[in-house]
Structure 1
């Protein structure tokens, strides 16, 4: 028969003793209450970490998707020239040529000339400032968040040449719908002998879109390109070229080619230039949140130490007997290490299950919270997007699991070593 002292690491009897200690009632010298506290603490900490990482990932992806899905990946505009009156003119006269040459660059999917301007829009319920984009219908129909979302839109985009397309926020604020007429008022109108008179034009609303970004839906209006040229006094010119590329993340690799294709006087502004500071701030915030929640996991794991210290104290007699019958220090260390490790493993698995369950049902949970709080939990005018997104990634779950298990295993070593080094004579002296 094999002796206890000669058994291999993490043998069956070590697992049996560790499991029995974890299940022991307090009357039997166990610390089941502390075990439950440790389990609950680790479960909640791991769940909080997974939920936070999922929400941060979902928010970032949704935010970037709304940028790339409704805005130009690259904007090409003119450096400008000084006219005879000393005014800076940044319009592009050869906008057709610029668009064709840029569209021919490898990696570019579309290059569309735009006319842009800020005006006052007037509807049945009042007036509001809007940003008008003059664009061809064929180009508008390639914008993912505007045209390729029929479930999030009203009206018929095929009739765009007959009217105007507006964001759902504009329609809601001005109280207009499909078939209503929207009045655009620009202070830079026709020049007369008495000065510049405001330009007022009325257009039928033929399409209402929802891009998913509050600031876009609240301010953006699309007007047929030729109508916008007339309205903004841009006859024969465009303000900029809107460019879409195959790989937005690699846009910096082709900006030089686009500038060379456009020709002299062309300048480039990419989506990273416009949103880069915000994305960098999100990255910093993600890292800070991970560090803070890692500390929460560490604090939860420290409960294991408290439970093991009490367990070692209560099981001093058992340790003395085990050592007397030949169990080695290493075996005792492994027994109490298993006690703490099992708590960490079970708590981590429960935390993963709770976190994943929360993320999967996050819309329903927030609906309930929103109902009991009277609404306003998630304000799109502040957050920018309409709902709290969450996206589970295997790497985020793996990071949470590795962090929790690593901390649980590490801090368990110290009370386990204390148990292993207990002198059996001292442990049994008063027994």
Structure 2
């Protein structure tokens, strides 16, 4: 007569452990079990590394946007004055910037001149985007100003210009060199506007961390930019920095109320929102694909456990005739199958975290094997492959693996529990 015992009693663990460590000739752990263990390890490792890289890439990408650009840009559309001349920008930019600065949640607001130019060292010529800004405001830009990855003296900015490191590298110049800046919006003559060319000393070279910024951006003192682009008395935009960029939409209306009816906003989410949404979709797709890989690896447990049940049919019959319940048999084989999932998950967790924490060394090794760089900053925007381990990502990977391993183990374990002991011992 079968006698019920408490679930997962000591003897159940003992029997399961004996089955797991038995030699293959005795019906122990099969090759399929080892394959499933390795498969789960690799799948969990890949899932953790992928989630860490995606989180790191997103954080670095957003940080380079917020660290080198305005959180909100206030501008105005082109308009025509009473004389028929086309105007754009703000004439009362100082008062406007002060009014916006007083909006709760706004850290600072400053007028800005923007224009497109050609920069030449005499031999090479590159296109660049000019940002006309005051020296005080330049120092406050996290990825550009004081404390940023740069060389040169930012205190001398009033007497020269600042270049991105990519632009300086393409031109082959360094701090102290002089470059010619050429603008199509130049000197006004009776025949129209003639191109304007001025020579400036490079006093500061910065690295913002974004390939497109470092290769195209040039900072010029605000007053000089006004003169260079014939914008005396005007500012093209008002740069606004807020204390919580993630909630920038909540400040758009108050900023517009302070800026006036002609003002229009453009937030950092407007410029990067489509890319961030694409990253979200890619994250979900990658998680789904790698989850399927974890499921496939977990299904191998079924094959190994079915083989173990078949080899242990005689033992199951004897145990049942000795009074072991169906539940006890089920739990014994559940432990055998779940053991593979747990060990594979632990190994995958350790390897995944180790690779994510040393992704720079891994990429360097891959580059060495490949014989060249495998990360192209001109395509991906940032200079290196970042990784950021997040507790939620690790827990989701571990939870998914354990959950799938436990679920698929139930079916062959139930088959063992429902085995008829008479049929199991008939031919013994």
TM interval, short-chain normalised: over 0.9
1:236 aligns to 2:233 (yes or no): yes
* Residue 298 of structure 1: aligned partner: 295
- 1:37, distance to aligned residue in structure 2 (A): 1.3
* Residue 417 of structure 1: aligned partner: 414
- 1:232, distance to aligned residue in structure 2 (A): 0.3
- 1:373, distance to aligned residue in structure 2 (A): 1.2
1:272 aligns to 2:269 (yes or no): yes
Gapped regions of structure 1 (runs ≥ 5): none
TM-score by length of 1: 0.97
Equivalent residues of 2:30, 2:308 under 8 A apart: no
Separation in structure 2 between the aligned mates of residue 15 and residue 38 of structure 1, nearest angstrom: 21
Equivalent residues of 2:186, 2:194 under 8 A apart: yes
- SS of the residue corresponding to residue 248 of structure 2 reads helix
- Give the direction of change, closer, same or farther, for the CA distance of 1:88–1:411 in structure 2 (3 Å limit): farther
* Residue 93 of structure 1: aligned partner: 91
1:178 aligns to 2:166 (yes or no): no
Separation in structure 1 between the aligned mates of residue 396 and residue 2 of structure 2, nearest angstrom: 37
Separation in structure 2 between the aligned mates of residue 76 and residue 200 of structure 1, nearest angstrom: 29
* Residue 132 of structure 1: aligned partner: 130
Separation in structure 2 between the aligned mates of residue 372 and residue 299 of structure 1, nearest angstrom: 30
- Give the direction of change, closer, same or farther, for the CA distance of 1:21–1:187 in structure 2 (3 Å limit): same
Question: Where in structure 2 are the equivalents of 1:351-370 lying within 5 Å?
Answer: 351-370=348-367
* Residue 400 of structure 2: aligned partner: 403
Separation in structure 1 between the aligned mates of residue 357 and residue 78 of structure 2, nearest angstrom: 51
Separation in structure 2 between the aligned mates of residue 361 and residue 324 of structure 1, nearest angstrom: 55
- 1:125, distance to aligned residue in structure 2 (A): 4.8
- SS of the residue corresponding to residue 367 of structure 1 reads helix
Which of 212, 219, 226 does residue 209 from structure 2 map onto? 212
1:188 aligns to 2:167 (yes or no): no
207-216 or 186-195, which deviates more: 186-195
1:160 aligns to 2:157 (yes or no): yes
* Residue 426 of structure 1: aligned partner: 423
108-117 or 35-44, which deviates more: 35-44
Which of 62, 65, 75 does residue 63 from structure 2 map onto? 65
* Residue 115 of structure 1: aligned partner: 113
Equivalent residues of 2:334, 2:413 under 8 A apart: yes
Equivalent residues of 1:141, 1:147 under 8 A apart: yes
- 1:124, distance to aligned residue in structure 2 (A): 5.0
Equivalent residues of 1:95, 1:113 under 8 A apart: yes
- Give the direction of change, closer, same or farther, for the CA distance of 1:85–1:379 in structure 2 (3 Å limit): farther
Equivalent residues of 2:8, 2:331 under 8 A apart: yes
Separation in structure 1 between the aligned mates of residue 69 and residue 286 of structure 2, nearest angstrom: 29
1:222 aligns to 2:237 (yes or no): no
Question: Where in structure 2 are the equivalents of 1:146-157 lying within 5 Å?
Answer: 146-150=144-148, 152-157=149-154
* Residue 285 of structure 1: aligned partner: 282
1:311 aligns to 2:308 (yes or no): yes
Which of 25, 37, 44 does residue 39 from structure 1 map onto? 37
- 1:123, distance to aligned residue in structure 2 (A): 1.6
Equivalent residues of 1:133, 1:220 under 8 A apart: yes
Which of 247, 252, 256 does residue 250 from structure 1 map onto? 247
Which of 253, 256, 261 does residue 258 from structure 2 map onto? 261
Separation in structure 1 between the aligned mates of residue 86 and residue 418 of structure 2, nearest angstrom: 83
Q: Deviations over 1:373-430 (max 9, x none)?
A: 1223000000000000000000000000110011000010000000001111111111
- 1:79, distance to aligned residue in structure 2 (A): 3.3
- SS of the residue corresponding to residue 146 of structure 1 reads coil
4-13 or 88-97, which deviates more: 4-13
Separation in structure 1 between the aligned mates of residue 407 and residue 89 of structure 2, nearest angstrom: 65
Equivalent residues of 1:42, 1:344 under 8 A apart: yes
Aligned residues: 428
- 1:90, distance to aligned residue in structure 2 (A): 1.7
Equivalent residues of 2:30, 2:307 under 8 A apart: no
Separation in structure 2 between the aligned mates of residue 419 and residue 52 of structure 1, nearest angstrom: 38
Separation in structure 2 between the aligned mates of residue 320 and residue 28 of structure 1, nearest angstrom: 16
